[in-house]
Amino acid sequence: MDLLTKTLLVCLALGLTTAAPAPSDDAAADGDYVWKGYHGEAQLTSKVFRDMNGHVDAAFRMHHSDNPDLHDHVFFFQDDKVFIYDNHTLEDGYPKTIQEVFPGVPDHLDAAVECPKGECNTDFILFFKDHEVYFFDLSTKTVKNKTWTHLPVCTSVLRWLEHYYCFHGNNFTRFNPVSGLVEEGYPKDARNYFMKCPNFGHGGKYSVPKCSEVKLDAVTMDDAGKKYFFAGRVYMRLDTSRDGLHGFPIARSWKEVANGVDAVFSYTDKLYMIKDNQVYIYKGRAHYTLIEGYPKTLKEELGIEGSVDAAFVCPGQDSVFIIQGRNMLRIDLTATPRVVNEDFPLPLFELDAGFCGPNGINVFKGSHYYEYKSPMLFALSKMVPRPLDITPEMMGCEA
């Protein structure tokens, strides 16, 4: 296994990033190093994870919410052994043989990756050896294998933001974890995407804005707990700070609204996106799919007309609140046809976005936001609270 992909499999599974060390006569064998962050000195794996000496064949972070004793633990594979770490501490009784922990899975693996229920049919671990892929069912402890000759031999595999990447040489290929089908436009050079390398980069036009320059178009959280913000043609996941806050083109997930949105809200496992006078509704699973028959006009879908500044639904509620200029409309989403049930004048206007969570609502105006305990307190308030600044911790912007 080459140095680039072996270090990737260790560090990306841990939320670490890799870079190649400068060659030296006394450098350890391939796979003996880990790197923290996007640059800096390499460290011996054994210094970071004690009792882990020598090379690493495969690694992944366990996703098994039904078993809290193993959930979020890191698994390393070396020859015929498996090591399990909890926060850099080796679990008692390990290492064990792969057969003890994952019966039916071969030794001397090339790669491994977790595949949670919703992205796979149930909680699986995928093990890779040559072109063979072994699907280990965490509930039944059974294995099924498939032969994926259409996928390159993966020397490491990474799950990142519900996408799956096979690394081979300096390249990587994105694939479907159920079928193994390769997505269009691959392979790509990993040095352009997954690490900072001199004279490399994928040429994206997105740059991290200063917090004082942030202007949001929408903020929402779906039923799976995925929280997004939208600004211009870019969106960002806010619930994945361990995997890094990174801006993506909206077209990556919602190609029909690639040029941006006016408002977004989530309801009954669906994402409603409003652009101009159109409403687009997407099924909210591992990957979003536009529902047949959409877009529809605002009048058809919500019983309103005119431009929309912001929209939000509070957790467990069936009403959407639509902000238009100086007014906030409440619309019962269970009604047919949908009509405006209440119309409230607001103490604020020219708002950009709104979000409702367990602790109340935030409404955004430029690089500031305002907190209220509920939509009703927002509507009935005569006093405007002190504006709060958007911070790097909230949205990954620069201070």
User: Could you tell me the pLDDT band of residue 64, with boundaries at 50, 70 and 90?
Assistant: confident
Could you tell me the pTM of the whole model?
Answer: 0.68
Which class for 286: exposed (0-12), middle (13-18), buried (19 or more C-beta within 10 A)?
Answer: middle
User: Could you tell me the pLDDT band of residue 2, with boundaries at 50, 70 and 90?
Assistant: very low
Q: Which residue has the higher pLDDT, 194 or 228?
A: 228
Check: CATH 2.110.10.10 for 33-192? yes
How confident is the model at residue 201, as a pLDDT?
63
Instruction: Tell me how many helices (H) and strands (E) the chain has.
Output: 6, 32
For Cα atoms 139, 144, 145, give the angle at the middle one, nearest 5 degrees.
Answer: 140
**H or E stretch covering 301:** helix 298-302
Segment 328-335 shows an average pLDDT of: 97
DSSP readout, 26-94?
Answer: TPPPTT-EE--SSSS--EEHHHHSTT--S--SEEEE---TT-TTTTT-EEEEETTEEEEEETTEEPTT-
pLDDT reading at 228 higher than 80:
yes
Which pLDDT tens digit goes with each residue over 339-380? Answer: 999 999 999 999 999 999 999 999 999 999 999 999 999 999
Average pLDDT score over the chain: 85
For the chain, percent of residues with pLDDT exceeding 90: 60
Q: Delimit the domains of the chain by residue range.
A: 33-192, 211-394
Amino acid identity of residue 324, one-letter, is Q
Same fold, 33-192 and 211-394: yes
Q: How far apart are CA 220 and CA 262, in angstroms?
A: 12
- Contact (CB, 8 A) for 371 and 388: yes
DSSP readout, 206-242?
Answer: --PPBGGG---SEEEE-TTS-EEEEETTEEEESS-GG
pLDDT reading at 287 higher than 80:
no
Which pLDDT tens digit goes with each residue over 147-178? Answer: 999 999 999 999 987 889 999 988 999 999 99
- Contact (CB, 8 A) for 197 and 205: no
Which pLDDT tens digit goes with each residue over 29-41? Answer: 345 777 665 556 7
Check: CATH 2.110.10.10 for 211-394? yes
For the chain, give the number of residues.
399
- Other beta carbons within 10 angstroms of residue 40's beta carbon come to 10
